[in-house]
Amino acid sequence: MFRPAPELALGKKLELGVEMPGRTHWDAVLDRLQTTALVEVGRRLQVDVSEASLVHLQSNLVVALPAARLVVRVAGAGSLDAVSSSVEVTRWLRSCGFPCVEPVGSPFLWEDKVLSAWKLLDLDADRPPSGSELGQVLRQLHDQAPPPFELRRLTDPLSDAAAAVNSPTGMAEGDRRWLSGRIGQMRRHWEELAPAQTRGLIHGDAHPGNLFRLQWGGGLVLGDWDGVSLGPREWDLVQIHYFARRFKRYDESDLEQFTQSYAWDVRDWEGFEHLMLLREIYSLSSYIWRAATEPWARDEVAHRVQTLREGDATAAWNSPQRQPWR
């Protein structure tokens, strides 16, 4: 049975009050947002920014502005180029009739954060999208011609993980040395990658938790475009398999629906396991950055690295998304 990622999507308003990893830091961010940055959002877009509420917290923070029918996504200052690309690409894709989230205005820097505004969605939480529907949407995306403007290429997906490992972290020194060596090895695998599919436009984080069903009409929209780039289509196709393997969120039926709908099985490609491992290491970066100050992230990095060092491809990993606010 298809089980969507339990992350908190755009348009789902939540009540605050349950402790969550990293919440103290982001509470302070929200306080500053309400008094300064959201005022600037309101000024730039000429909208009402009252009654802001925290919607989502993971690598990004999402704040809902119900009166303005907007959400504001807050990312790190180093993500300005990625967020700018996501705005440009989604605006172009919507003009082509592709079902994706709709940006409003342009992203901007505020202190050490990047803010971008998007139209608020009314979502049908009771009818999560299926693996088949994700396959259909990805097939439609991958059949798109490249955009008529310059777009970054996915040349080194492990650059952030490498930077995180080489920064002051809460990792054990033995784990840090092992992971640094493994990253070097996987970078060589990436350079030698021989994709079976044509390289082209890819989403970068294509799993069912980023596909949303609208409450009215039942249409679908694909969100979270910070990883959009030109690269191997296989990078998008392994994501649902990574979630099935490490988080047990999808079963074989989901994977078969996805494969049949997309009309190609990435598991038949000889580079599948290499790309799966690369995707697993790629996913470590946000946890490593937070491990120096947040015990839950330090424990999770240690757990994941241990399973990787032991070659355990079936061990379940944990995610703070399993501890949402009510």
Considering Cα of 52, then 53, then 55, then 57, what sign does the dihedral take? positive
| pLDDT of the residue at 6 | 33
DSSP 128: P
Cα gap 92→7, rounded to integer Å: 27
Residue 13 has pLDDT above 70, yes or no: no
pTM: 0.87
Q: Which range has highest mean pLDDT (8-17, 41-50, 119-128, 251-260)?
A: 251-260
DSSP string computed for 160-214: HHHHHHTSS-SS-HHHHHHHHHHHHHHHHHHHT---SSPPEEE-SS-SGGGEEEB
Average pLDDT over residues 84-109: 96
pLDDT at position 319 = 78
Residue 17 above 50 pLDDT? no
Residue 173 or 167, more confident: 173
State how beta strands 70-76 and 61-65 pair: antiparallel
Model confidence band, residue 326 (pLDDT cutoffs 50, 70, 90): very low
Instruction: Please choose, from the candidates 10, 19, 4, the residue with its C-alpha nearest in 3D space to the C-alpha of residue 325.
Output: 19
Q: Is 24 helix (H, G, I), strand (E, B) or coil?
A: helix
